[in-house]
Amino acid sequence: MGIPLTLFLLIALPFVASLAIAVAGGRERIWHSGLAALASAIGLILLVTLAPAVLAGEIPAASIAWVPALGLDLSLMVDPLGLMFAGLILGIGLLVVIFGHFYLASGEATGRFFASLMLFQGAMLGIVISGNVLLLLIFWELTSLSSFLLIGFWRHKAEARQGARMALAITGGGGLLLIAGVVMLGLTVGSFDLVTILASGDVVRASPLYPAILILILLGCFTKSAQFPFHFWLPHAMAAPTPVSAYLHSATMVKAGVFLIARFWPVLSGTDLYTVIVTSVGLVTMTFGAWVALFRHDLKGILAYSTISQLGLLVMLLGFSLEAAAAVAVLHILNHAAFKAALFMSAGIVDHETGTRDIRRLGGLAKVMPVTATLATIAAGAMAGLPPLGGFISKELMLGETLEVGLFGLPWLVPIIATIAATLSVAYSLRFALFLFFGKPRDPEPHARAHDPGVGMWWPAALLVVIAVLLGLIPGLIAGSLVASVSAAVVGGEAPYIGLYLWHGINPALGMSVVAVAIGALILWRYAPILRRYEAVRHLDAKALFERALLMANRGARRVTMAIHAPSLQRMLLLVVAVLVLFAIEAVGAGGSFTGPREGIPASPVAILAWALLIAATCAVLHAQRQRFRALIYISVIGLVISLAFVHFSAPDLALTQISVEVVTILLLLLALNLLPKTPPVLSSAKRRVRDGVIATLGGTAIGAAAWAMLTREPNDPISQFHLANSYSGGGGTNVVNVTLVDFRAFDTLGEIIVLGIAGLAIYALLSTTSRGHAADRLRTWQEDMPHSPESHPVMFVMATRILLPLTLTAGIFIFLRGHNLPGGGFIAALVVAIAFMLQYLASGYDWTTARRRFSEHTLIAFGVLVAMATGLGALLFGASFLASAFDYFTLPLVGEFELATAMLFDVGVFAVVLGAIMLALAQLSHIAKRAARAHAERTASDEGVRDPEEDGL
């Protein structure tokens, strides 16, 4: 398997697994967890096959041009830094999947859980192996969205919904700042290629934009990695299931900010501004998180704030701008991932088996849960930095590096504060282990039901604990080459030397470590009076401050919106048209020739008659504006005249589209009009109507004048000449309009059909509310305001539509197939087929038609979008641009020569989305009309004392 294929398969596996799990949503959980585990395991195997080459100094890479005009390429690369993080993402992800399989209760939506988990895994992998910073930003935002789904997995819990919203608001807001910083960084360097950017550190630091770039990128990293003062979202994210906490908030998502600081270390570090900002934020976060963790009572709350503290430690080390400190940060990333994921799993086991996470109710669990107690105690020892565990080595090395940094001209400041933070970390780690598993039970109820779970729940934590132990006993053998390679990648040069062994001799770092352990144990001994004093003091609630800030921002935005955009559609349209008129008057007054040199086309009597009919129909709409049915008829006349104008100017595709759209629109509006008052109330006074009429006349005149000025001038190098010249040679079709839509401007069309699909779903969502609340009450009291035929489904109409159905479908298929060379295509064909189905609804009723439907409208929309996307992605596999098409000519006996183009698949997607959106709106309107007619019939029959046997309305 080639390296490019390996890399693309590596990034595609989680997303494919997520889609497969979603499709298998109704199956048993073994399918969901099995697919997730299989994808993670295969990805890990692929990564292992790349590891020898990466550690030997090679950087496997692959790139496909995606949007070259923006500098956005589908570029992937695996250097040592990406290798380490990808290993953490896949390895711990595999263990979390196994843990989650046994952790989630019976009846949980495991399909949704594991699909979201794999979506997140794919996003994180994309961040760490992206070779293009714009591509990295896409995956960065995807992590925020997927983590929102995971944190809010238990959506029936208010705290889960609040935590998800808070995480999305903070990390999403930081992501917007990061986008600005990365774009500025790419523009400064002149490339968005990551390798080019990493080699341009001197250029970036010398740029006048460097301070803005640095601050924006750091804000994005700080929000994602929960650095003070953006830390508060992380504890509230603990409302997620424990497997999510073990994965997102210890090993992956919260380390994304740390990863990005390490990734851009060669570019951004080395300046006083960088050192002061990053070191200060890391130092404050490290100390603050440790202090708060000491007084939390929820097990996951303790671990959440300890995670904040440990992340602050990593940020602080990367902020020193010292190569050795960066290497220590790499080592501690490995240690933290091992012991923190094990601790979260242990907390989940305790919660799962005792029914509580309140440490005040727990104690003495080592007697009834010896396996869990052993694993959690060892992991807590690693978090405290006790020998002979890996956490001890990275903590001692960290303390040693603090002696090399002088912040604000004070050489003692960083070592003292770091020692205090290390002391607090010892205290909260020992409290977690000793108060939870040793001593006497504080509450007999959770203690009585506690027991070790089956091996499926504890062996993932056991494996992580073994790694934490080996990182202390034999760190050089376990992680020596990896740490050296990753450190070299971070600093952009030779690997700095750090001593990967337990005993470094008697030195200041050892003394600081001994002091931290001794005072930490003393704090734990006197914990009760310290806790009483802590709780006696009123503390600021970050969540309350955040919600208050949001409320104030919402009120401010509302005031500004009300001042600028009055809640009146008429007034907003008035302002828009008035501005357009002023611009037109200013343009005319600026001088110059109003009419261009281009000669006009003589108007024939038929064209003049059609123009007069158009004017008359427009005036009739204005006159009959309060008579909706009549206005609708006049509007259809306007559409017909415009269609004839398209035919006159040799635009048959546009004419077919216009006529089809008019028929579909009129039928849908007639169906909706049946449930609306035929004569709406008067909304404007006579004076206001006169004012609006004057402004509308001026606006129409201005637009007409602008159109006249443009049409009487020759276009300057029109793009249409390119389309005309290259339609056949480049797209394989003689119908320029269709080739433009499905080839030259296929990306625009893709966006349009996605918007159309969203519009169909929005109509469905809006109309679905008619079954409840005030809308349902109004529907139940709906009265017919026009006489209806006593025969709901006239036989002649029914038979005619059923005979016409196969003929119309055949015409639709014919229009679809001929679209590449003659007027037609997927859009027009979908409209024609939709008209055929609409006639079935109108003639035979909702029940009869829906009972014969084989595919749901939602499926059609999804199928169309996926097919259109697959067509574009298929082009990438062959080295072409996204949505590029290919075509060729073939010959068959009896058939002769014919053409096949990949654009036809894209047109199939267009057809499916358009048909699905129209049918979704039709089905919902028909369903509402049926329910209204049924309610009216039941009410009439009840008034007469007889039940109407005819209940099948439209």
Mean pLDDT, residues 118-136 taken together: 94
Asked if pLDDT for residue 570 goes beyond 80, the answer is: no
Secondary structure (3-state) at 130? strand
| Residue 162 predicted with pLDDT over 70 | yes
Distance in angstroms (rounded) separating the CA atoms of residues 837 and 685: 43
Q: What pLDDT is stored for residue 332 in this prediction?
A: 92
Supply φ then ψ for residue 898, to 5 degrees. Answer: -145, 165
Q: What is the mean pLDDT of the chain?
A: 85
pLDDT tens sequence across 474-513? 888 777 888 999 999 999 888 888 888 887 778 898 899 8
Q: What is the pLDDT of residue 694?
A: 82
Query: In this model, does residue 471 exceed pLDDT 60?
Result: yes
Pairing of strands 72-77, 61-67: antiparallel
Report whether 323 contacts 491 (CB < 8 A).
yes
Please tell me the predicted confidence (pLDDT) of residue 309. Answer: 93
Grade residue 952 by pLDDT with cuts at 50, 70 and 90: very low
Give the single-character DSSP code of 653: H
Task: Calculate mean pLDDT across residues 256-269.
Answer: 93
- Spatial distance between the Cα atoms of 899 and 536, rounded to a whole number of angstroms: 82
Write out pLDDT tens, residues 528-554: 888 888 888 877 777 778 888 888 988
Residue 948 reports pLDDT greater than 50: no
The C-alpha atoms of residue 44 and residue 442 are separated, in whole angstroms, by 43
532-536, 614-618, 773-777: range with lowest mean pLDDT? 773-777
pLDDT at residue 950 above 50?
Answer: no
Type and span of the H or E element at 899: strand 896-901
Given a cut of 60, is residue 945 above it in pLDDT?
no
State pLDDT tens for residues 846-887.
778 777 877 788 888 999 999 988 888 888 777 777 888 888
C-alpha dihedral (578, 584, 589, 594), degrees to nearest 10: -160
Question: If you ran DSSP here, which 8-state letter would residue 740 be given?
Answer: I
Give the per-residue pLDDT at 954: 43
- Selected residue with higher pLDDT from 435 and 949: 435
Q: What is the pLDDT of residue 949?
A: 45
Sign of CA dihedral 862, 864, 870, 872: negative
Which range among 581-595, 648-662, 704-718 shows the weakest confidence by mean pLDDT?
581-595
Residues 191, 194, 199, 205: is their CA dihedral positive or negative? positive
Is residue 149's pLDDT more than 70? yes
Query: What is the pLDDT, as a whole number, of residue 430?
Result: 93
pLDDT at 383: 93
Q: Domain ranges in the chain? A: 533-564, 568-592+684-711, 604-680, 734-954
Residue 601 has pLDDT above 90, yes or no: no
DSSP result, 262-323? HHTHHHH-SSHHHHHHHHHHHHHHHHHHHHHHTT--BHHHHHHHHHHHHHHHHHHHHHT--H
Please give the pLDDT value at position 791.
Answer: 67
Q: What was the pLDDT predicted at 583?
A: 76
Between CA 928 and CA 935, with CA 930 as vertex, the angle to 5 degrees is: 95
pLDDT at 951: 44
The per-residue pLDDT for range 724-766, each reduced to its tens digit, is 888 888 878 888 888 888 888 888 888 898 998 898 888 888 8
Q: List, for residues 339-397, the tens digit of each pLDDT value.
A: 999 999 999 999 888 888 888 888 888 888 999 999 999 999 999 999 899 889 999 89
More reliable by pLDDT, 596 or 163: 163
Q: What is the pTM of this model?
A: 0.71
- Examine the pLDDT at 449 and tell me if it is beyond 90: no
Residue 897 forms beta bridges with which residues?
Answer: 891
Q: What are phi and psi of 445, to 5 degrees?
A: -65, -55
CB of 339 closer than 8 Å to CB of 382: yes
- What's the average model confidence in pLDDT over 558-573? 74
Q: What per-residue confidence (pLDDT) applies to 91?
A: 92
Q: Is the CB of residue 935 less than 8 Å from the CB of residue 782?
A: yes
How long, in residues, is the chain?
954
- 408-419: pLDDT as tens digits: 888 889 999 999
Judged against a pLDDT cut of 50, whether residue 138 lies above it is answered with yes
pLDDT in tens, 271-294: 999 999 999 999 999 999 999 999
pLDDT for the residue numbered 781: 65
pLDDT at 953: 42
So what's the pLDDT on residue 789? 63
Task: Show the tokens assigned to 33.
Answer: 């967890």
Please give, one letter per residue, the 3-state secondary structure of 63-113: EEEEEHHHCEEEEEECCHHHHHHHHHHHHHHHHHHHHHHHHCCCCCCHHHH
Specify the amino acid at residue 110.
Answer: T
782 pLDDT higher than 70: no
